[in-house]
Structure 1
Amino acid sequence: MEAPPKPTVDSLRHVVNNFPIIDNHAHNIIQPALVDTIPLESITTEAQGRAMRDAFKSLPHLRAARQLRRLYECPDDANWEELLAQREEWLRTDPERLNQQCFQGVHALLIDDGLSNPDKVLPYHWHNRYTKAPSKRIVRIETVAERLMESLLVGVTDDDLDAATFFTDTWVTLTEEFEKEIQEAILDPEVAGFKTVICYRTGLDIEPDYERAARDVGHPFERYVERCVRKKKYRIERKALNDYLVLRTLEILSEETPRLDVMSKPLQLHTGLGDKDIDLLKSNPGCLQPVIENYTNVPFVLLHSAYPYTREAGYLATVYKNVYLDIGEVFPMVSRDGQKAILRQALEITPGSKLLYSSDGHYLPETYWLANVQFREVWLDLLIEYVEKEDVTPHQAIAMTKDILFNNSNILYNLQYEAVFNDLFVPPKTLTYNIKSPVESSTSPNAASMPPGLNLQQHASPLAPPYPSSTAPRTPSEGYQPPPFPPPPTEPQVYDTQLYDTFMQQNPEVKLVYVQWLDYMSTIRARMVPIKEFDRMMRSGSRIGISQGNTGTLQNDGSTPVMNPIGQIYVEPDLRSLRRTHHRDAIPSATVLSFWRDERGNRIRECPRANMELLINDLQYNRGIKLLCGFEIEVTFLRRSDAPQDEAFTPLTRTHAWGTMSPEQWLQIPLLAEIATSLSDIGIEVQQFHSESGQGQYEFVLAPQPLLASVDSLIQARQVVAQIAAFHGLRATLHPKPFPGIGTAAHAHISLDPPDKDLQFFVGGVLKHLPAICAFTLPEVVSYDRVADDSWTGGTWVAWGTQNREVPLRRVSGGRWEIRCLDGFANMYFAINAILAGGILGLKSNVVDFPQRDVRINPSSLDEEGRATYGITQKLPVGFAEAAFALVHDDDLVESLGQEFVGDYLAMKKSEHEMLSKMSDEERRVWLIERY
């Protein structure tokens, strides 16, 4: 075991100063031409007009001025006019530099873009250029209603007000359109939540009874409409109407989220500190208590630290599950001591899981920067004080910092972002391959399918002329380049002990943990760790050290050219994958998947799971795309034969066809039901299971999940299937061709959100690189025996089609696709990584018109001319050697996946083939069945 040093005050300081921020409450930057209309001194005060002159002598202003000198690189003794002159020079010559510095450390922004006229500010997505992840919208409900009213009353005059049904018709139309817009925003993935400014307008003493609020709105609404028509002023500031809009929004949120155990999108409310038009007494969040109690599945976010009512807000956040306290705007509006006092009050009873960071940044980029700098400064001082007094440990302080800056908002707003803080890998300056030869012998069953000139016997022979040697550096292609994150390594990984503690509270009987990882050959490797030792690992931050050489061995520990006995890899459990094992396990146990780390605790490029996270992050952060994936586990259940003269395995059932339930099959229901219920018991949802076409063959359909979690669940589910079968004296195999006439696949369904770029991803990317991708999705010689035309296996042509099972890429619906050229031999991390890399290349190309058309017919039934009309010109590889050849010549895909990785993978596949080629056909079949 290798234990990194325990967190110290120095590591706490580093986290506070550098951990990325999700800013849960911000506003748009103003259009550059209007910057001069906003006085810089306004960023530290809510005063306006004549009162703003006195702001220059306030502590918040004096402190901010000192910090802004540092930002603008002014001398320490520069006065305010000199500071403004320097700022003006920056804005004139290099505004981009100022923006980049002001948004440094901001991972994502949640932007209320209802602050002013849209023409006055830059759109919310403009800010994405300065953040790691895409910005999201917060919809201001009063702005929605006011803009609707403005559009409804176009051309209306005083004469129209006299019509008998005018007010009623207007009210009905307004409420219908308002409800429609709120419902659409709920479904819009670009909208993270909603917001009301009722605190500014009429106060937080909202009428809690929705029916009464609806009855009271009549006369105030008529007066409001008259003002709109006569004065063209659409601001809503009549209590009954404001109350109704808030309650109607809450009603819609509740209706759209009917389950009490599921939270809707949050509603933000201004509380406390605000513009001078606020009624200070009615801005006390305590006024909201009856409303909070009436809408328990709507999260309420109390903004602006509720200052000066921080304690009241903290109490609400403590006693109600659906209340959160935003600790924003007081940075930089309040002095240092005031900020520290506010944070103290927030922490008096409020859990760290209920506090959210925000800047309330608006119009000027400096507002974001000052809030960021000042919060980190004061927060660090406060935490160090608590650590020195032993109220908290450095580890606890670090965890709370990460929660407030990132995790709490990430969870509350369902952003599914990842705080990329530690280095995923340190890429070498020159990526090279480690082998010079291919992966199959010329004596293999697929020898006839090998590309011309491919020598599969001699280790020293190049796979193809452009295939680089282990010493010649490869010139990067113009294709995909790795994304510009994460930052350099900074601190050892610290386990989420809260996640671990929660698991143990729910499963106190667990005595053993299987720490597992999937190697290059798709073999599950494991260390069995008693719970006492596992607990020590979690508390100390330890990892399990294994030899670097273990990653370069075959399924039977046979050596390969990749095996390096020098060096160490550190296996680090990923607690997100921690789950109980099934009830048949010998003792109550858990299983957890792992990352591979280097000696500094950084993820390494060889790690299959780390590579997947890197690609997922690129899609999510740089392209605003989220993915869900659901797998189908096709498995053949076999009986072992005891008689030496018989076949080693026979199918469990023979009276068998797709979707049937013969009496022979019915007798296997106890086995199948035990598998399904065992998976459900450990949190892996089986949507359905049924017989497949082959004798003894069944399919279990797993529910879709985020991509990494779906692959983790697949691996854990396959273990359950195999182990329950073994308990019944059976062998469950994923072998793609265990018997003639039986083909076993491992189809994956991948969905894009939003779905509008699915053709670019799958047709322009995955399909274009599919021959090379097959080296990962169909990784064995026998994998290609399953691929055939007219057999519902995906066919042999590089093509796609809607609801077409005779093509390798089946489009199920908009955004959802099925990968059919995939089997159970694949290391699923590698296979999905290759698919992701291909898809990203398609997105990056920006091509939207493709020669490959939607094929609604079996391609094998077409002649060459017919296929050409659909853009079908290429066949899938007919053997692994051909797939490897395609991979080596696909520069962009290799560059995306990493040249060293691809070289290592192919070298190991070559060694595996040399081992398997020494066996007879039957020996090889049995050997693979026993392992997959």
Structure 2
Amino acid sequence: MSSELDLMPAGFVRAIEEMALVDHHVHGVTSHDLSRRAFEELITESDRPVPSWMTPFDSQVGYAILRHCAPVLGLDPYCTPEEYLARRARLGAHEANRLLLGASGIGHFLIETGYRGEELLGPSGMAEVTGVPADEVVRLETVAEQVAADGCAAGAFADRFAEALWERTRTALGLKSIAAYRCGLDFDPAPPTREEVTEAAGRWLSEGGGRLSDPVLLRHLIWTGLERGLPLQFHVGFGDPDVDLRRSDPLLLRGLIELAEPTGVPLLLLHCYPYQRQAGLLAHAYPNVYFDVGLGVSYTGARSVALVAESLEVAPFAKLLFSSDGFGPAELHHLGALLWRRAMARVVGGFVAEGEWSVEQAMRVAWMVGAENARRVYDLGG
């Protein structure tokens, strides 16, 4: 920890390190052993083959794994990638998952299951490995694509999707849209008419009803999700090259935010890097907007302190949530939690050391962001 934390009362850093976090947006872990190539492909957001002259271990997230995950698996910090992967292979996927997830200190997972879910542990599997609650967040686009795959006439699509969504979310705690990936966030925010939905569904279904990217239908999915009433997450910013980063600025959602405000449904902006300041502005201005800096924290590694500091600039502290956005290797779940704790302790500890905040205020903010805000938004109780 940085030197300013040496001035903090005993127990301050420990309290943050031991806090039971609520990870409000995360995916499952892989349950099978990973080759070096498979592991490396899962610690980068690039979808291109890794060139032979480099390794994703030579990155902020790679160095963070070797520094912070290696000791959890019984290795010295700063070991080589070869040593790390050999140790991981000897332990096996189940034991590595158990150790890394257990050491994360996450006390509740909200698992988004819409992307490659068949390759990962679902909510029940995550709960079994960790011994803590795990609930589901349902991806709107996945439900719609399943409706199409099951067979549906264009005129019946709107009703069939609504029925499927209600059925699919009987026990879910949230919804998610990846409109940023499919058409960008600069879509018409108004709900489409039924005639527009039928016409768009006809075009989509006549082409085979595969990957859904029609802006009219995506708008319909979002507004049907708002009618469902569960907290609605939006991918924003950083992700794989399938997303056009220029069109994933959260400021593009302002029209939808204002139209959706009367519904009272919380809108949660996920990841946000490099648009964390824009997300903070929206959370400051609109009561229905929340955000996190998950994914960015893991991938900025030693620089994650700066990212967390920027997330605390203008947004009310009741509007910011913790997320790891871990996907695949449990290292990403562990790092999301560990790096966030470290960054939060350094940032708010610095405010205390400078005489700007009291210790009580610093702990209050850490608890709010780490767990309490998510418990309120998703009605988790406790």
- In 2, the alpha carbon distance for the partners of 1:279 and 1:40 equals 25
Report SS of the residue matched to 2:91.
Answer: helix
Is the 8 Å Cα contact of residues 63 and 301 (structure 2) preserved in structure 1? Answer: no
1:696 corresponding residue in structure 2:
none
Residues in 1 aligned to 2:242 and 2:359: alpha-carbon distance in whole angstroms: 43
Matched, 1:86 2:87: yes
- Matching of residue 193 in structure 1 with residue 159 in structure 2: no
1:208 equivalent to 2:189? Answer yes
> Among residues 156, 180, 204, which one is paired with 1:224 in the alignment?
204
Report the secondary structure of 1:303's partner residue: strand
The Cα offsets for residues 797-846 of structure 1, whole Å up to 9 and x where unpaired, read as xxxxxxxxxxxxxxxxxxxxxxxxxxxxxxxxxxxxxxxxxxxxxxxxxx
User: What is the alpha-carbon distance in structure 2 between the residues aligned to residue 131 and residue 279 of structure 1?
Assistant: 35
Kept in 2, the 8 Å contact 1:23–1:106? The answer is: yes
1:182 alignment counterpart:
165
Q: Give the direction of change, closer, same or farther, for the CA distance of 1:385–1:209 in structure 2 (3 Å limit).
A: same
2:314 to 349, 369, 380: 349
Distance 1:133 1:78 in 2: 31
Q: What residue in structure 2 maps to residue 415 of structure 1?
A: 380
- Residues 25 and 292 of structure 1, relative CA distance in 2, 3 Å threshold: same
Q: Does 1:315 align with 2:306?
A: no
1:286–1:313 Cα contact (<8 Å) kept: yes
Q: Residues 122, 390 of structure 1: CA spacing in aligned structure 2 closer, same or farther, 3 A cutoff?
A: same
- What is the correspondence of 1:753-768 to structure 2 with a 5 Å cutoff? none
Residues of 1 paired with 2:375 and 2:117: CA distance?
Answer: 29
Q: Quick check: 1:108–1:134 contact (8 Å CA) kept in 2?
A: yes
| Distance (Å, rounded) in 2 between the aligned partners of 1:36 and 1:147 | 31
Mapped to 2, the partners of 1:196 and 1:265 lie a distance apart of: 12
What are the equivalent positions in structure 2 for 1:443-842 lying under 5 Å apart? none
Q: Which residue in the other structure is 2:13 paired with?
A: 13
Q: For the Cα contact (< 8 Å) 1:43–1:332, is it kept in 2?
A: no
Pick the aligned partner of 1:172 from 155, 160, 181.
Answer: 155
The answer to whether the Cα contact below 8 Å between 1:16 and 1:401 also exists between their aligned partners in 2 is: yes
Output the CA distance in 2 between the equivalents of 1:116 and 1:400.
34
Matched residue, 1:302: 269
1:265-276 equivalences in 2 (<5 Å): 265-276=230-241
Deviation at 1:102, TM superposition (A): 2.2
Task: Name the SS of the counterpart of 2:150 in structure 1.
Answer: helix
How far residue 54 of structure 1 moved from its aligned partner, in angstroms, is 5.5
Distance 2:285 2:63 in 1: 38
- Equivalence for 1:406: 371
Cα distance in structure 2, aligned partners of 1:301 and 1:76: 35
The alignment partner of 1:136 has SS state of strand
- State the shift of 1:30 in Å: 2.6
Equivalent residue letter for 2:357: V
Once the two structures are superposed, what CA deviation does each residue of 1:594-636 show, in whole Å capped at 9, x if it has no partner? xxxxxxxxxxxxxxxxxxxxxxxxxxxxxxxxxxxxxxxxxxx
Displacement of 1:241 in angstroms is: 2.1
The offset of 1:317, in angstroms, is 0.7
Aligned-partner Cα distance in 2 for 1:308–1:77 = 28
Letter in 2 for 1:324: Y
RMSD (Å) for aligned C-alpha atoms? 2.3
Distance in 2, matches of 1:290 and 1:414, equals 27
Q: Which amino acid aligns with 2:114?
A: G
Cα deviation code 1:632-672 (max 9, x no counterpart): xxxxxxxxxxxxxxxxxxxxxxxxxxxxxxxxxxxxxxxxx
| One-letter amino acid of the structure 2 residue matched with residue 148 of structure 1 | V
Q: Which has the larger radius of gyration?
A: 1
SS of the aligned residue for 1:71 comes to: helix
User: How far apart are residue 217 of structure 1 and its match?
Assistant: 4.2
Q: Is the 8 A contact 2:192 2:216 kept in 1?
A: no
Instruction: Give the deviation of 1:218 after TM superposition.
Output: 4.9
Residue 135, structure 1, aligned to residue 134, structure 2: yes
TM-aligned CA distance change 1:87 to 1:31, over 3 Å: closer
Are residues 100 and 59 of structure 1, via their aligned partners in 2, closer, same or farther at CA, if it must alter by over 3 Å? closer
Q: How far apart, in 2, do the equivalents of 1:307 and 1:107 lie?
A: 25
Deviations 1:845-898 (A, max 9, x none): xxxxxxxxxxxxxxxxxxxxxxxxxxxxxxxxxxxxxxxxxxxxxxxxxxxxxx
Write the letter of the residue equivalent to 1:111: I
Partner Cα distance (2:64, 2:35) in 1: 22
Aligned equivalent of 1:244: 220
Displacement of 1:103 in angstroms is 3.2
For the residues of structure 2 that align with 1:181 and 1:397, how far apart are their CA atoms?
44
1:286 is displaced (CA, Å) by 0.5
* Closer/same/farther in 2, CA of residues 150 and 117 from structure 1, 3 Å limit: farther
Closer, same or farther: CA 176–270 of 1 in aligned 2, 3 Å: same
| Letter aligned with residue 200 of structure 1 | Y
**C-alpha contact (below 8 Å) 2:73/2:99 kept by paired residues:** no
Report if the CA contact (8 A) 1:317-1:324 is conserved.
yes
Runs in 1 of length 4+ with deviation above 6 angstroms?
Answer: none
1:369 aligns to 2:334 (yes or no): yes
Deviations 1:107-164 (A, max 9, x none): 110001111253x3333111112445421110111000111111116xxxxxxxxxxx
The residue correspondences of 1:41-60 to structure 2 (distance < 5 A) are 41-50=40-49, 53=54, 55-60=56-61
Unpaired stretches in structure 1, ≥5 consecutive residues:
1-6, 154-169, 254-263, 419-932
Going from structure 1 to structure 2, the CA distance change for 1:348 and 1:320 (only over 3 Å counts) comes to same
Aligned-residue offset at 1:284: 0.4
SS in structure 2 at match of 1:379: helix
- C-alpha deviation, 1:81, in angstroms: 1.5
Structure 2: how far apart are the matches of 1:310 and 1:280? 13
CA distance in 1 between partners of 2:294 and 2:305 (Å) = 13
Distance in 2, Cα, partners of 1:238 & 1:211: 12
Residue in 2 aligned with 1:456? none
Amino acid at match of 1:96: E
Deviation at 1:223, TM superposition (A): 3.2
**1:149 partnered with 2:148:** yes
Conservation of the 8 A alpha-carbon contact between 2:191 and 2:223:
yes
Contact 1:44 1:64 in 2 (8 A): no
Q: Per-residue displacement from partner, 1:446-486 (whole Å, max 9, x unpaired)?
A: xxxxxxxxxxxxxxxxxxxxxxxxxxxxxxxxxxxxxxxxx
What is the CA deviation profile of residues 659-709 of structure 1, one whole-angstrom value per residue up to 9, with x for unaligned ones?
xxxxxxxxxxxxxxxxxxxxxxxxxxxxxxxxxxxxxxxxxxxxxxxxxxx
Structure 2 distance, partners of 1:45, 1:121, is 17
TM-score (norm 1): 0.38
**Residue correspondences, number:** 371
Q: Percent identity?
A: 27
- Structure 1 segment 436-447 matched on structure 2, within 5 A: none
Q: Does 1:61 align with 2:62?
A: yes
- What secondary structure sits across from 2:138 in the alignment? strand
Give the conservation status (yes or no) of the 8 Å contact 1:28–1:111.
yes
2:289 partner amino acid: V
Q: Which amino acid aligns with 1:349?
A: V
Instruction: State whether residues 22 and 109 of structure 2, in contact with CA within 8 Å, keep that contact through their aligned partners in structure 1.
Output: yes
Question: Does the Cα contact within 8 Å between 2:69 and 2:334 map onto a contact in 1?
Answer: no
CA distance in 2: counterparts of 1:38 and 1:392, whole angstroms:
46
Amino acid at match of 1:413: Y
Unaligned runs of 5+ in 2: 1-6
What CA distance in whole angstroms lies between the structure 2 residues aligned with 1:360 and 1:348?
22
| 8 Å CA contact retained: 1:43, 1:333 | no
1 CA distance for matches of 2:305 and 2:47?
26
Tell me if structure 1 keeps the 8 A contact 2:40–2:56.
yes
The equivalent residue for 1:26 is 26
Which residue of 2 is the match for residue 388 of structure 1? 353
What's the counterpart of residue 292 of structure 2? Answer: 326
Counterpart of 1:113 in structure 2 is: 113
Asked if the contact 1:106/1:132 (under 8 Å) is kept, the reply is no
The aligned amino acid for 1:48 is D
Shift of 1:28: 1.8
1:716 corresponds in structure 2 to: none
Normalising by structure 2, report the TM-score.
0.90
**Cα displacement (A) at 1:334:** 1.4
1-side partners of 2:61 and 2:95: how far apart? 27
